[in-house]
Structure 1
Amino acid sequence: MVIGVLQIELSIEGAASLKDKRRVVLSLKDRLHREHQVSVAEIDMQDVHRTAVLGIALVSTSVPHCQSMLDRVLDKVRFGRDYVLSDHQLEILSGQ
Structure 2
Amino acid sequence: MNIGVLRIGFSLPGCSSLKEKRQRMGGLHERFGRTPSIAVCESGDLDRLEASEWSFVVAATSAQKVESICSEIEEKLQRTVDGRIMDVEREIL
SS of the counterpart of 1:66? helix
Equivalent pairs counted in the alignment come to 93
Gaps of 5+ in 1: none
* Number of the residue aligned with 2:27: 27
Report Cα offsets for 1:48-70 as digits up to 9, x if no partner: 01100001011111111111111
What's the TM-score once normalised by structure 1's chain length? 0.84
Report Cα offsets for 1:71-91 as digits up to 9, x if no partner: 111111122351111111011
Identity in percent: 30
* Number of the residue aligned with 2:73: 73
Gaps of 5+ in 2: none
What's the TM-score once normalised by structure 2's chain length? 0.86
Q: What root-mean-square deviation, in Å, do the aligned CA atoms of Structure 1 and Structure 2 show? A: 1.9
